[in-house]
Structure 1
Amino acid sequence: MDMSFSPLELLMLLGGLGVASIIAGLVAGLLGVGGGIVIVPVLFWIFGFTHFPDDLAMHMAVATSLATIIFTSIVSMRAHHKRGAVDFDLLKRWAPALAVGALAGGLAARFFEPAVLTGIFGVVGLLVAANLATKRTLVIGPALPATPIQVALATVIGFVSALMGIGGGTLGVPTLAAFSYPIHRAVGTAAAFGVVIAIPAALGFVISGWDIPGRPPLSLGYVSLIAAAIILPFTTFFAPIGARLAHSLEPIWVKRAFALFLVITAGKMLYSSLT
């Protein structure tokens, strides 16, 4: 496996990852999405550019993103908690199912072909983009459903989030909003979901990738410790800034700009899974 590249290529890669990490941190705080929706496609393309084996690139992008989300979500959650936007009662009810689903997703990941993971990311990313781009929130009911349905929803959110390498906000915020949950509380609580999802999901990817051959140096299972170390300072610094913006800005235009970004990246990921 030839992973050598010139100083200029290295500078471009580090710069691109740094910019993506800043955007991921801001988006994590602003929309409660954990940043993985930005980090995963960037890591996937960077790993491909640095000659990672095709059968490792997507799994390592997802796993490394989850490892960074652990810390980004903690920082984002604390920032939202200071503004009273985290519903800890709801978090306690959903946490076990979120964690079980996330661990199952992480452990099952090694049985999914890379094209399946990129396809899942692409399809869900496009659906999230469509949701963000609309001014009106889809409302299913006036309140959260019965507890068994909430448990089922949380389990699915944990499982799919693990396979995509994202925090709880990408799926959690629109799900809560669909049941008339206040949007600022949804964003803050979903940031906490990210912690509950990322820890067991990352552990699952460490275990499932532990004996996979061809991994680069300083990898823990499917997690690239080097990439995580580069990403974390940026995402943890900028997540609180995004959280402050979430409580001071009308987010509709930010959502639409991010929806455009998602259409481009998710579309490209979906195309990669089909070719």
Structure 2
Amino acid sequence: MRKEIDAFLTAIVVMGSLLVVGILIAIVTQVVVLGLPEISWEFLATEAAAGGKTGGILNSIVATLLITFIGILIAAPLGVGSAVYLEEYSTSNRLNGIITMSVETMAGIPSIVYGLFGLVFFVIMLGWGWSILAGGCTLALMALPLIMRTSQEAIRAVSNEYRENSMALGASREQTLFRLVLPAAFPGILSGIVLSVGRIAGETAAVLLTAGSALGIPRSLFDTARPLPVHLYILASEGISMSKAYGTALVLIVLVLVFNFCVYRLRKILS
């Protein structure tokens, strides 16, 4: 009876795994088949015109890279710094519990709510208007919980024996942290940052409400822009050009994959 149950559970796990892989393959295949014919040098190196009906997506590529970079540039130091404080310095279990609960709550907030907050606070109250900076700061709030939690897990995974041995040899807490703990935890911290990039690079609702949707390459942080996810949404929802929408989706997927591959290679080198 036990063997039959084990075989049944194994079959369920295998079927579930195959289903997930099959769905992923189907989505990627559809995007590649329908988007690849649209890919050309003109599509990648020229700006969109006529609302996206003609031209390329250079402006959207630049906007996506800028907004994602700003979001990670803000979220990574805050997230890692908060994780270091909670794991290495904080002695208040009550404070740790409050911060942890707050972070978990932030992780479950829908992106549209972040967008509304960014619209009210960054766009209106601070007077930034729809801009690259407002969109990047909003995405930083979305990335912060994931970076913080993965950084905590990575730091927690470093054995306490290393800390004790380091301090027994006369090293200070700061020396132990920067020369031993953080280098050992860096691959895990980097993984959290990569996951955050994958999330915010494809975000639509929050960016649409804070960065706007104007065509053209942004010349400053206070310029409005149309990142790839927003451009894709507008092309598809307004029926402007489904072929260009699939081409945009393919470029977005490739950008995220290229970034993930580069970070993976960096992790291998550092490990």
TM-score of the alignment, normalized to the shorter chain, above 0.5: no
Structure number with greater Rg is 2
Q: TM-score of the superposition, structure 1-length normalised? A: 0.31
Q: TM-score of the superposition, structure 2-length normalised? A: 0.31
Q: Tell me: higher relative CO, structure 1 or 2? Use CA pairs within 8 A at least 6 residues apart.
A: 1
